Structures are given as C-alpha cells and as structure tokens.
Chain A
Amino acid sequence: MTAYLGILATLGIAVSAALPRTRLALTLLFGAWLLFALVLPRLASERSDDAHPLPSSQQVQQALLDRAPAYWTPESSAEHYRTLFTRYGVGRREDMPVDARGAELDLAERRSHRVFDQVLGGFYDQVERQDRAFARLAVISPAIAATAASATVTGGDFTQHRTFVDAAERYRRALVNRMNAAVTAHVHNHGGPRPVDDRRLWEQVPPFAYVSPRVDGGTARLVMPAIALALWAMLAWVLLIVSARRMRA
C-alpha cells in the first residue's frame, strides 16, 4: 500500500511539474486516475474472467447429477454389486463378508469424491487461473497490482478461501467414510433389525479444526504484483527526475 501511494504521489508531482498549465496537469492526472483506478481494473477483471470462463451452476449441477447422482438407479446399483462381488470374490449379497448396504454406500461415496474432485476441483482451478491472469495484468495499472497484492496479503483471495473449502470437504469425507465404515462393519445381509450405533461412534469424530495458511504461503502469488509495482515506481521516479531537470533548465 505504501508503494502504491508512493507511486501516486510521485506521478502527481512529476506531472504537475512537467506541464505548464494547472488545467492540463489536473486534467491529465484526473484522466489517469479515472483510467487506472476506475476503468482498467474492471476491464482487466472482466478480461481475466472471460479468458478462463467458469461453467454455470447449472452445468456443474448437471455434471454432478450425471456422474454422481445422490440416488442411484437399479442399473447402477447392479453395477455396484458386480464390482463388490469381484472385490470380495462372492456371487451373492448374502455371501459378502461385510454389510452389503454399507459397502455399496461406501463405494458410491468414494466414487462421488473422485467426481467432485474432477468437477469442483477443475472449477476451483479455473477460478485460480482467473486470479493469476488478473495479477499478470498488474503491469497495466498500479491499482490492479495493489488490488491483487492486498487480497493475498490480507488472506482475502480465492486461493486462501479454497484452503478452507478443501479442509471442510476433507472433514466431511472423513465423517462420511467413518459412518459408512460403521455401517459396513455390522454385517446385516440376511435381514432382521439393523443394529443401531450410539454416541460412542459419534465421539470418534473429531471437531472441525481449521488453521489459516501463513501469509508467506502466498509469496508466489505476490511476485507479479510486486514486479508491476516496482516497474510503476521506476516509471514514476524517471518521470519525476525528468520533470525536475526540465524545471531547473
């Protein structure tokens, strides 16, 4: 932020000193503010997003529905059991050494994890690509550099949000896998009342704990904004030196 304000102040002094009339200096500086602070960051943001378009929520939901439906059909259920029969070397549900229902739940859940990783992971990767493209455009405006850098430094960028989302998803999967394991362990392939677990099972699930990533973890994302700010600072200093020399002359 200091660098950004320093660039603005230096450019302001340089332009004011270089131009013979106040109206020209004011117009130029105001136009520059309008362009660099108000227009270019928005245009750059839209350009970065357009260059790496995200699928709509409808497309994401449809992909999840097609590849990992919450309720599977008799056909997919039959396919699940073929996989399980091969895995356990049996030909019938009743012969499975684990609970068939629990094993099917576990199988479908782990498949859905892979689908989520592909669909949602790809989606999140694309958002990060958008942010990297935006950071690369920092060279066209110091405001873009300041915006990209401040989001990383304050932990407000998407990459750091993703670490939270991923941690929450890992917690969810561990919880679901633990529950499915409990169902699978109670073999219940011949009917009768299903055994019920109590709080001892739930107490095995630890509370969700999240540790925010360290700020220096985002150093790589600060490279482009830092280079851009350095270039802008150099440009501002060169302009200031040239203006000062012209004034002396």
Chain B
Amino acid sequence: MTGPDFAGLFAWDVRRVGRSPLLWTVLGALVALLVWGATSTAALHRAQTAAQARIVTSEAAWLRDVKSRAERYSRPALPGAPELPTWQDPTDLGGFGRFFLFAHTLKPHAPLSPVAIGVSETAPSWIQVKLNTAFAGEPSYDFTNPRGAALGTIDPAFVIVYLLPIGLLLLFALLGTAERDHGMLPMIAAQPLWPPVWLAARVAAILAWSVPVVLFGLVLALTIAGAVPLAAPGVMAAGLALVLAYMLFWAGIATIALARWPSASEALSAMLGGWFVIAIGLPAIANVAIAAFAPPPSRTGYVEAQRGYADWLASRETAVVAAGLAADPALRPLHLAPDKINDLARFSIVMPKTERRLGPLHDAFRRYREAQLGLSGAVGYMFPPLGVMTALNTLAGTDDARQLRFEAATRSYQQQLRAYLYGIAWHQLAHPIRHDPAKSQGQMNFAGFDALPRYIPMRDGASPLVVLPTVGWLLLLASVAFAAGLSRARPVIRHGGHRTSTYRAAMLG
C-alpha cells in the first residue's frame, strides 16, 4: 500500500489539531492550574522561609538578652535582692543548658520547591533543639486545616501526575476518534494509507501541541511563582524530561486504546478506566496491602514505654548517676554525691542511658520510614504516577528522604551541643568553679555563649540524576505501549480465516 507518508500526515494533523478549541481549552486549563498550584505552593514555602528568618532573628535577640543578663549578674546582687535561682541564671551551666538554650535547625527550601508540596505541608521545616530531650528536638508542626488536608492541595505535581493524564486522554479520545464518530472511516479506508502511520501521525500531532505547551506552562508557572528555573538548570531539565516521558507514557496507553478504532465514548471509557486503575485503584490497593502486612510501629506504645522508663528512672536515678560517676576513673576518687552535682552532668549520664533504652523503639519509626521509602521506590516502577510523584518531590526537595536527612542533621546538631555543654559540665565535676556571692549575683561558671556550636543549614540540592531511572523506565513503557498499539492498529488480512482485524471491523462499521 502506498500513500501519504508519516511526515505528510503529521503535518496535516498538526494543522488540524491546532485549530481544535478542545485542545486549547484543555491545555489552557492545565496551564492555569499549574500557575495556581505553583503560586500557592510558593506562598506556603515563602511563609515557612519567613518563619525561619524570624527564628534567626529571635535567636539573635535571645543571645543579646543572655549576654546582657550574664553581664548584669556578674556583679554583686543589690542589697535585699532575692537569691537568683538556677533557672533565671544563664551564667549557671545547668540553668543555661536546661532553661535558656534556644537553638533551632532549619530546612531551607530548594530553588524549585514550588514544583511539589510533598511533605512540606505536614513535616516541620524547623526544629527547636533541646539539650536534654531524647533523640533531638521536639518537632513543631504547622497546623493544617483537617478539611484541607483531607481534600489535598493543588500543586504542580498534582496537576502533572493526575490532571495532565486526564487532559491528554480526553484529547486523544476525542481528537483521535472524530472520523469514526462522523462516519468517515469507510472513506478513509478507501484511501491508500497505512493505518498505523495514520494513527501515529494523529497521536504525534496531539503531542506536538501538548508537550511544548505543558513544558512551557510548567516553566512559566514556576517563574510566575517566583522560582528561578535557571537557578537549578539541571534539576529543571530533569523535571521537564520527566514530564515529557510521563506524557509519552500516557500517549502510549492512549495508542493502545485507539488501535481498536473505537468511538469516542468507547475510547474515553477505556482510557479513563485505565487512568483510574493505574493512577488511583492499584496504588490504593497497594497502600492498603502495605498497611495490612507492614503496619507502622505504635506511637501510643512508644509513649507508654517512655512513661514506664521515666517511672523506672525516677526511682533509681541516684543509683544510675552514682554508677556513671564511678565509671570514670578520674572522678571515682572524688566521691561526688550524685544529688549534688551539676544538672548537666547528671543529664550527661542519664540521657545516653535513656536513649539506649528507648533506642530500639525510636529506631523502629525511622526504619519504618526508610522501608516505606524503599518500597515507594519499587512501587513507583509498578505504578508510574506514584513514581513520577516521588521523583517530582525529590526534585523539589520536598521528599521524605530529604526530611529524614534534615532530622538526622538535627540529631547531629544536638550531639554537637551536648558534646560542648556536657563536656564543660563533666570537666567542672573535677574542677568546680565556686560561687562567691560577694563578687557576683550569678554562679559565673559558664560564659561560652559565643562558642556554642552553630547549626549550618543543609544545602543538599537534588541531583538531576536521581530521576533518570524513572525517566528511562517511563520511556521504555511508552515504547512498548506505542509498539503494541501500532501493531494492533495494523490490518490483519486473512483469506478464508475467521479472524478479522479491529481496523477492518471498524471500517465495515
């Protein structure tokens, strides 16, 4: 069979598809939603960045106040002034470590964070680090309206992962079946053209309009939202490659459906059924299965264990501290009374023991999250929408893996603070600094405010390479789907056989 080649059909289809109001309605809606999603996500991230800036300001004000108090308390108390209790005295090491220390860790947003809201709405972007709290800090969660959390938000990742396929499938279903629905297939069948080429040209024409508009729309949305795509060109390029591969994947699925030469309603039903199964149904079933077979550790159980351990410690703390002091060869000869030592020295013995006791339970939560991460990586290959969502979160820096790294950095910072302050407390056990009320109101056994370890915010930008396996996998799936679809669209000519092709069946009505 000879006739128009692919290039000729493609050029004709590009012109025809480009005049379709449906095309521009769908693409316009998608771009508008991308802009909305990017601006609202960027607004959330700007608010979080502003909160972090206020924390930095508060820390500076706190340091000024502490130094000013230390200076004031370095002088003798005025006559009749009450004794300065430890929790009001920053020059007392124990008081400073327990009641004054005001330190935070911050998780800055990545340059392209408006791409995906990820865990940024639910996980803390800053943590106040307490010296004597087990396993670093008490995360502070921004309140999210439960109704909003249940409905979800519109961010570019949601638009790309869930709405873009629907838009594309709508275009393929309606623009790819117009001839069938208008009764023109028999006329076309009489033309000398090869059905797979005709189908490929139509699919390619729709993609020729959709791909640049969606990719440009994403860049435009990020730019309007205040992100600078060129600030992370590798990440931006990887994101665009990912979206392109995802569009090709759905185009492949659509090709399989169109290869049966269905009517618009048949095509729409089949494609949207496929979308529902791939994007909603199977991931939901997988979630239920994972929750059933690998349930998360119990938070209530952890709180109960903490309570039980606190009761145990309350009744044995003196013995625990005495054992800790006796374990140090330098301190053993001093016969220090456990209930008379500095608060921080006591904590330096109690906290490691507490963390050893509760460690297995605490680690179970981290291991569970790490297992979930590993699982989501594997599940992402089985269900491409999940894989693309994970990849977009990673590029945006709002993924759970980065959150885990932030929490690990917080823990590391707490250890640095402990090493510094507990170290001084331990040193002062052997070399105590006696308080002379005639010389100073404060205890004056600590003045290292400027030497406190500083937290260096993490700057771990996403590597564009991390999404390459997902891009490669999507391209492979798309190739297989295109090949299967185009092969199915080929007319089957059997002389005297019982089988007829879908093409012939459609041509014959």
The interface of chain A, by Cβ under 8 A from chain B, is 21-23, 26-27, 30-31, 34, 38-39, 41-43, 45-46, 49-50, 54, 56-59, 61-62, 71-74, 77, 123, 127, 130-131, 134, 147-148, 151, 156-158, 161
Contacts and interface: CB of A to CB of B under 8 A. Distances in A.
Contact of A45 (B82, B88, B148, B263): B148
A161 B146 CA distance: 10
B412 interface: no
Nearest to A46: B40
B170 A39 contact: no
A22 B99 CA distance: 71
Given A50-B40, A71-B87, 6 more contacts: A22-B263, A30-B272, A31-B170, A58-B140, A74-B88, A158-B147
Nearest to B159: A39
Contacts of B141: 57
Interface stretch (B48-56, B204-212, B396-404, B419-427): B48-56
B72 to A, nearest CB: 9
Contacts of B58: 62
Contacts of A61: 140
Contact of B174 (A23, A72, A161): A23
A228 to B, nearest CB: 16
Given A23-B265, A74-B88, A77-B88, A134 B147 contact: yes
Nearest to B162: A38
B177 A123 contact: no
Contact of B148 (A46, A57, A58, A73): A46
Contacts of A156: 146
Contacts of A42: 151-154
Interface of B: 33, 36, 40, 43, 47-48, 50-52, 54-55, 58, 69, 81-82, 84, 87-88, 99, 124, 126, 140-143, 145-148, 151-154, 162-163, 166, 170, 174, 177, 181, 263-265, 268-269, 272
Contacts of B54: 58-59, 62
A115 B162 CA distance: 44
A138 to B, nearest CB: 12
Nearest to B69: A73
Contacts of A46: 40, 148, 153-154
Contacts of B69: 73
Contacts of B47: 56
A41 B142 contact: no
A59 B58 CA distance: 11
A130 B145 contact: yes
A54 B141 CA distance: 13
Nearest to B126: A58
A159 to B, nearest CB: 11
A27 B47 CA distance: 39
Contacts of A158: 145-147
A112 B174 CA distance: 64
A189 B87 CA distance: 20
